[in-house]
Amino acid sequence: MMSAQTAKLIVALKEFPIIAIVRESGPEEVVRSKVETLIEAGVLALEVTTNSTAWQKIVREYSSQVSMGVGTVNTIAHVNEAHEAGAIFTVSPGTRAEVIKRSLELGMLPFPGALTPTEVLLGVEAGAEFIKIFPAGQLGINYLKALLGPLNTVKFVPTGGISTEQAGEWLKAGATAVGLGSDLTRGSTEEIRARVAALKSHIASPSKAAQ
């Protein structure tokens, strides 16, 4: 059964289909600043990776303000820690059935990483609704289109090596959402805000565009 929080995430991704990814091993203040800036700029879904400084503390502190997930979730221990911190989704670089199933048991949406059709199907069979195509930037938009031919019911979230300028093209090609990391979160507070604003002006749900 879907929780109210995971339902909120699905609605958020329909409204603004970007998952902002914070991967930062520097001082905790830097991680905190990036997260706060992204939230203030209007990001609706945010992922902090398990190799970021103080990730559990950050997730716990900001999970009430945004649909918060944890990335680089490779083990069941990571899943448990993410849930305890208040995350509502997990993101992994690969497809591990036990990680997917444990996430679902705890009421979180899993986003397993996949590269090949076989890996995609393994993720779907384990219960994943969303599949992260990784590394998507190196494969290109045509690879997503090729996957969507036989796998058109899968909700793909291309991630890795995608620029903010390219995000809209991936969505037009059939992606459900796009994961954006360093190209979105690098630089100053003002630069991050400007990138989010540019994304929001170019990527709008039909309901938003009609307003």
pLDDT level of residue 1 (50, 70, 90 thresholds):
low
Half-sphere exposure (Cβ direction) of 11: Cα atoms closer than 13 Å: 8
pLDDT level of residue 204 (50, 70, 90 thresholds):
low
Average pLDDT over residues 66-95: 98
Tell me the domains of the chain and their CATH numbers: 20-202 (3.20.20.70)
pLDDT digits (tens, 9 = 90+) for 144-196: 999 999 999 999 999 999 999 999 999 999 999 999 999 999 999 999 999 99
Q: Give me the active site residues, please.
A: 47, 132
How far is the C-alpha of 158 from the C-alpha of 205, rounded, in Å?
Answer: 18
Instruction: Please state the pTM of the whole predicted model.
Output: 0.94
Alpha helices in 131-205 (DSSP H): 136-139, 141-148, 167-172, 182-185, 189-202
The C-alpha R_g of the chain, in whole angstroms, comes to 16
Given a cut of 60, is residue 112 above it in pLDDT?
Answer: yes
Contact between residue 91 and residue 9 where contact means Cβ atoms under 8 Å apart: no
